[in-house]
Amino acid sequence: MSTNATKILTGNATLVRPRFSPGLLLRDDDLTQGVDYARDLSRLLFRSLFGCGVVCGLKVAPSFQCGKLVVAVDAGVALNCCGDPVQIPEGQKLTVDPNCGEALPPKLWVMIRRTEKCCAPRQTVCSCDDEDASSTCTRERDGFEIRLVATPPDGVCACTERELPPPPHQGTDTGQASPDGATRETDMGPAFDCQCADPTADCYKDHYNGVCGCGCTASEWVVLAVLNGTSDDTSKWSVNHSVRRFVGPVLMRDPVVWAEQNPKSSNGTSS
């Protein structure tokens, strides 16, 4: 064996796409594979780049109306652990009447998941006898389900609940404050917080360490918020969004513009 020889290991990925050629007799699974490839590719990229969580919107607001708990959920988009989008195209409201059924628990978790509905059925067998005719759906419409639960299931896409901070002090702020409360200035004016997630938090550290996100074996549910009530007054409920995992992409500053306006910095980062 040559001393320059190397060992090579090859394998197969999970993505499969169809390949057509002239004169080929196509079957239904050939055409379906073209759709499945595009979907599998987007799912792989979404869950690898972002993981599961809320992309935009989906803010939760509780209120008590006529003795009933009303939970409003804004329109928005989330990603489940498979990488599938969960879309709520317009705001929704769930009403819970504590006088009907069991009393409200001290905590209610607001969760969503993606659903599918088979529609537009079409006859697949042409026959004069109706008994021999069969039909199958020709479209699949994505949907959503919102659920309030006292305890979320295992593997649900969520973060650890954090206590809400006290209300901020009243006053004026003329500068941009850093996370530690200090105001910083740069050559480009006030320094803005990049609004990035904490890389040391359990909810995001795997993402920053390059660990692949959850797969389809995890729960299909995405937590939006947790509602906290009081035992002495059921009409007082607070909402805490710290339990949701937010995965909205952050737009980067232009490194070329930064270098032009900060000539002292050679690597495109602030010194």
Asked if 234 contacts 228 with a C-beta cutoff of 8 angstroms, the reply is no
265 within some domain? no
72 within some domain? yes
Best CA proximity match to 138, nearest among 116, 122, 117, 126:
122
Report which residue type is found at 171: G
123 within some domain? yes
Q: pLDDT band for position 189 (50/70/90)?
A: very low
20 within some domain? no
Asked if 112 contacts 89 with a C-beta cutoff of 8 angstroms, the reply is no
7 within some domain? no
pLDDT of amino acid 197: 86
Domain count, the chain: 1
pLDDT tens-digit series, residues 98-137: 887 778 888 999 999 999 999 988 887 765 555 666 888 8
pLDDT tens-digit series, residues 53-96: 999 999 999 998 888 899 999 999 999 999 999 999 999 999 99
**125 vs 185: CA distance, rounded Å:** 73
171 within some domain? no
Domain that holds residue 108: 28-161+196-249
205 within some domain? yes
**56 vs 244: CA distance, rounded Å:** 12
pLDDT of amino acid 195: 74
Whether the per-residue pLDDT at 175 is higher than 50: the answer is: no
What does pLDDT average to over the chain?
83
| Cβ neighbours of 237 (radius 10 Å) | 20
Asked if 261 contacts 255 with a C-beta cutoff of 8 angstroms, the reply is no
Asked if 261 contacts 188 with a C-beta cutoff of 8 angstroms, the reply is yes
Higher pLDDT: 218 or 246? It is: 246
pTM score over 0.85:
no
Asked if 219 contacts 106 with a C-beta cutoff of 8 angstroms, the reply is no
One DSSP character per residue, 230-243 reads -SS-TT-EEEEGGG
24's CB contacts (< 8 A; 6+ apart) are none
Asked if 224 contacts 112 with a C-beta cutoff of 8 angstroms, the reply is yes
6 within some domain? no
Instruction: Give the tokens for residue 210.
Output: 């390059």
Mean pLDDT of 246-270: 74
Mean pLDDT of 141-163: 93
Percentage of the residues of the chain whose pLDDT score is greater than 70: 80
pLDDT of amino acid 164: 80
